[in-house]
Structure 1
Amino acid sequence: MKNTVVLAPLTPENFAPYGDVLDASGTPDKIINAGKCGRFHDRAKVDVREARVGISIFKADVRSLPYTLDLIERHPEGSQAFVAMSAEPFLVIVSDGPKAVPKAFITDGTQAINFHRGTWHGVLTPLAGNGQFAVIDRIGETPNLEEFTFDVPWVVTAAET
């Protein structure tokens, strides 16, 4: 028996329960730098408990579809944003909990995401490019990682099989 998750497009509406979609579509909120730069203001809430916010660089292995999802994690003490450092799509996997059916989204190559504090999610899963991401998250002394391994892995596909 195989568990299957079908990819959905990443939109602010369908991702709202899990976090924020960071994109620069539409008209900028403000034009700055003598009219040479558009600012898309305040696209995500950085939420950390008793710590500071840091920006790290992650280098993840490039994966392919179908993708075997066997592990999810969450960060109970802070939000976590993934910003790809190449214009390539990546998978965004979320879950309402370890026993819930995961949901899988695919970015359009220009989007980044910010998981709400405590959201169960998959690991960084680039589908192309260099696998490099800027990650904005909580930096602190207390633990901020919980992991769950599925007894039966899920298979993420582009379409139902």
Structure 2
Amino acid sequence: MSTQILTPRPLHPADFAPYGDVVELGGDHVLINDGRCKRFSDLSALVAEGGRVGISLFQSEVQALPYSCTLLERHPHGSQCFVPMEGCTTLYIVAEDDAGTPVRPKAFVAHGRQAVNIAANTWHGVLTPLSGGGLYTVIDRVDGGPNLEEYPLGMALTVLPGGGAE
């Protein structure tokens, strides 16, 4: 099997924008709870076309770099928001779509205080924590019919350490 090498870059909202939203502290906020809490509202919109939004917990095995990815998936009718619950550093592999085929993959590393909301119909790798306990809150479409397409790659995407991912 052939291999394509990816070097991950730190997760920044502008770089990740074609694939979804980075959810993190910053920007405008209002004080609530008698002035003891900052609320950063509406940081990302959830999509659940033809279904209902639910909150699930995912427990994923921690991986190490180099990491080999041989499968991408997408959810055509809903976004997926991954919120690390244990400060997990997370590898996100995403790709553009070309007539149903994932192309031009990229790798990003999120620190433990960043969540991502992957846009509907965006190709992405499986949940890949690089540290922590691998526990995530996932907010996504939970009913309304099939919402998963998997694409076995004809090669391995190998993500090497570097670019802030050590």
TM band (smaller chain): over 0.9
Deviation at 1:147, TM superposition (A): 0.3
SS, match of residue 78 in structure 1: coil
Rounded Cα–Cα distance in structure 2 between residues aligned with 1:144 and 1:2: 28
Gaps of at least 5 residues in structure 1 are none
1:35-114 matched pairs, under 5 angstroms: 35-97=35-97, 98-114=101-117
Deviation at 1:158, TM superposition (A): 2.3
**RMSD between superposed Cα atoms in Å:** 1.4
- 1:140 has 2:149 as partner: no
Q: Moved runs in structure 1, 4+ residues, more than 4 A?
A: none
1:108-123 matched pairs, under 5 angstroms: 108-123=111-126
Gaps of at least 5 residues in structure 2 are none
SS, match of residue 58 in structure 2: strand
Rounded Cα–Cα distance in structure 2 between residues aligned with 1:54 and 1:128: 26
Rounded Cα–Cα distance in structure 2 between residues aligned with 1:99 and 1:28: 35
- Number of residue pairs matched? 159
Rounded Cα–Cα distance in structure 1 between residues aligned with 2:155 and 2:123: 17
- The equivalent of 1:20 in structure 2 is 21
Q: Which amino acid aligns with 1:13?
A: A
State whether residues 28 and 38 of structure 1, in contact with CA within 8 Å, keep that contact through their aligned partners in structure 2. Answer: no
Rounded Cα–Cα distance in structure 2 between residues aligned with 1:157 and 1:127: 12
* TM-score, normalising length: structure 2: 0.91
